Structure 1
């Protein structure tokens, strides 16, 4: 009998979205492919989950940590995951009932890293402009538009060997870290450096509320772009991309500051 792969859903949470988590768990219970587990990494001292999920029909592990940081929490979750496939859900995302079966079907055709499509069924809006209409492998540039909750990866691709360290989220990036965004882009780029390409399925959905688009970037977001480019592309290309980005986004007043931040940043989690 062929063993069916388990999907580990790693969810880092501050514990303040109980109703949203219940919605996620309900959609996992209703999956047509039921072989999954949830690794809930709780960055909160409260202990309410045994009562909240007392009747949960999905295998659940709650890991409590004292530190804050989205990438750190996900890395801890990875250490407790037992599934052959892992994904990184937000506590306020949820799934179409056939999503996991479609993911497993794709892996059975030899895919290693998969990106789904983010969709808000309430607003009937996708998370980004639908420029890619058919399933295909993404370019390195296109990895910049992915979000963490869309990623499914074969766990074996993340393990180290005699020549490589394990691939994990760079803990300098992500909410609660020094640089507040870009952790998923680095994660996918590190996989690409090991020849694990990301395959995009535009018709397979993960649900999440789509926030209003804003053209104004916060200063923290602006300052994180230079180190992000340096982490992904190394210094010479990073400085070129930083300059082009800040002229395009009309952030010239911060250009010198971000160039200094890019210069002083030294990649520490590079794979």
Structure 2
């Protein structure tokens, strides 16, 4: 993750979701480990948020590589936007995310379209504001839960509903060369999750955003006209499942 320096130079918190016989320990004072017997990505992130000690937080995956000057870019951004609850940055383009496009200019307040397209490794968080707003990841979303995508969008939308500033800075801080968990899912499963996600964020207006998603995916050739009935049914199924959970 840090080819330009030893990892122990950074303040790192590892949430190790494990079993009793596979406990992880750290020999480095800057690298803390929490061994958890629970499962679920959002549970892991909430545990990390609760125990993090830094003023500015980044969410790391084990298959990413940070840019050498990533900390300077992040600190400069928060010096400029000291009241931002979250600041989104860019991932360097690769085969895995070659179609992802970013705005070329800074955005002082992200809209819902931007939020829905945000991944966790693009996010940086102002811990003071996150704590004050008592914002957590919804544990119904994310790998290992009932709906395995969308946890970032739910988190940021909850911040936005509390009138918190979410900024975009058009600078690269990280590389990610592998397909994401979302990319590996087929479109029927994605729409099942999207039905729940849109219901969680937009409530009774979920169907409007579902239609926008279908039109967008048709234009991007991610689905075909012949798929519309199947994806719509799958999304409605996700909607009803989330309502039942609620």
**TM-score grouping bracket, smaller chain normalisation:** 0.7 to 0.9
Deviation (angstroms), 1:126: 5.2
Whether the 8 Å contact between 1:146 and 1:185 is mirrored in structure 2 is yes
Answering whether residue 221 of structure 2 is matched by residue 252 of structure 1, we say no
Deviation (angstroms), 1:47: 4.1
Partner of 2:101: 130
Partner of 2:135: 167
Q: Flag the 1:214–1:85 CA change in 2: closer, same or farther, 3 A.
A: closer
Distance in 2, Cα, partners of 1:229 & 1:125: 25
Distance in 1, Cα, partners of 2:4 & 2:22: 23
Partner of 2:13: 39
Answering whether residue 46 of structure 2 is matched by residue 62 of structure 1, we say no
Q: Flag the 1:214–1:110 CA change in 2: closer, same or farther, 3 A.
A: closer
Answering whether residue 201 of structure 2 is matched by residue 232 of structure 1, we say yes
Partner of 2:88: 115
Distance in 1, Cα, partners of 2:42 & 2:128: 19
Deviation (angstroms), 1:262: 1.0
Q: Flag the 1:238–1:28 CA change in 2: closer, same or farther, 3 A.
A: farther
Distance in 1, Cα, partners of 2:78 & 2:245: 31
Distance in 2, Cα, partners of 1:146 & 1:127: 15
Richer in helix (by share): 2
Deviation (angstroms), 1:219: 3.3
Q: Flag the 1:127–1:268 CA change in 2: closer, same or farther, 3 A.
A: farther
Answering whether residue 160 of structure 2 is matched by residue 186 of structure 1, we say no
CA RMSD of aligned residues (A): 3.0
Q: 1:199 aligns with which of 143, 149, 167?
A: 167
**CA offset digits 1:164-193 (Å, max 9, x no partner):** 6x1011000011110010000111111111
Partner of 1:102: 73
Deviation (angstroms), 1:97: 1.3
Answering whether residue 47 of structure 2 is matched by residue 76 of structure 1, we say yes
Q: SS state of the match for residue 112, structure 2?
A: coil
Distance in 2, Cα, partners of 1:125 & 1:173: 23
**CA offset digits 1:74-127 (Å, max 9, x no partner):** 10111111111111111111211111111011111124211111115xx47755
Whether the 8 Å contact between 1:43 and 1:64 is mirrored in structure 2 is yes
Distance in 1, Cα, partners of 2:228 & 2:237: 15
Q: Flag the 1:187–1:266 CA change in 2: closer, same or farther, 3 A.
A: same
Distance in 2, Cα, partners of 1:62 & 1:27: 23
Q: SS state of the match for residue 204, structure 1?
A: strand
TM-score for both structures, normalised by structure 1: 0.74
Q: SS state of the match for residue 205, structure 1?
A: strand
Q: Flag the 1:93–1:214 CA change in 2: closer, same or farther, 3 A.
A: closer
Deviation (angstroms), 1:214: 6.7
TM-score for both structures, normalised by structure 2: 0.81
Partner of 1:153: 125
Q: SS state of the match for residue 261, structure 1?
A: helix
Partner of 1:263: 240
Aligned length, in residue pairs: 232
